[in-house]
Amino acid sequence: MNWRHLFSRRSARLTGELRARIRASFDRAAGDEVHFPATIDPRIYHVKLIRRHLGELTGRRVLDVGCGKGRFARVLHDQEPAAEICGLDLSLEMLRFAPAGVCVCAGSMTELPFSDAAFDAAYATESLEHAVEIDKAVSEICRVVKPGGRIVIIDKNARASGRLQTPEWERWFTRRELEGLLRRHCRHVESRDISYWEDVPPDGLFLAWLAVK
């Protein structure tokens, strides 16, 4: 069945049936180390940008939202051993690959199982695109971060839509769209085009949003 006609940028709903299909998709993908690796090169700009924006993390609690196998959490834990890194993902199969020393929790980005202001910082790397109800997911990320805490979202640029094959529920974003959602909860928001490597000019695929609650 072709599900794409059921989705629109403004009205998509994360039903129980759709959530189950998304979870099953990532459970299957957990066995694909080529496209869904458990590690990542710590020199990529995504990592550097997260580190720079989040700042000093000693003694801080940081949430990796939609962590997958924990590839970014692994780097942060290695580089910031005095920080408490927590990874959340919908897929239990993905979480089985999370590194030792990183606490993990199964759950949905639209219903984060944490209390208000539970974390000093949060980031989401190429995961918000799978949330379906994007406004709820952004609201939840901001809810669990303390006032003054920092947030990083790295995801695909809507202007590059069609460049990659994607599942029917996946959403890409414009800079203005996510800036507007973050500004509902944060006192400072900015965005920029980025590349995987700091010395390579952005090609229009990735955007980063940096916020301070």
CATH, residue 16: 3.40.50.150
Number of domains the chain contains: 1
Region 149-175: mean pLDDT is 96
Transcribe 45-95 into DSSP letters.
HHHHHHHHHH---TT-EEEEET-TTTHHHHHHHHH-TTSEEEEEES-HHHH
pLDDT at residue 34 in the model? 93
Per-residue model confidence as pLDDT tens digits over 82-121? 999 999 999 999 999 999 999 999 999 999 999 999 999 9
Report yes or no on 5 lying in a domain: no
Strands of the 188-194 sheet, one edge to the other: 103-106, 84-89, 61-65, 119-125, 145-156, 206-212, 188-194
Single-letter residue type at 4: R
Q: Is 198 a domain residue?
A: yes
| 111 part of a folded domain | yes
Task: Evaluate whether residue 6 is within a structural domain.
Answer: no
- By residue range, what is the domain housing residue 110? 12-212
Convert the pLDDT of each residue in 2-33 to its tens digit: 333 333 445 589 999 999 999 999 999 999 99
Which pLDDT does position 11 carry in this prediction? 58
For residue 138, pLDDT beyond 60 = yes
Q: What does the pLDDT average to over 154-180? A: 96
User: Is residue 79, in this structure, part of any structural domain at all?
Assistant: yes
Does residue 7 lie within any of the structural domains?
no
Q: What is the pLDDT of residues 26-75, one digit of tens each?
A: 999 999 999 999 999 999 999 999 999 999 999 999 999 999 999 999 99
Tell me if 3 is assigned to some domain.
no
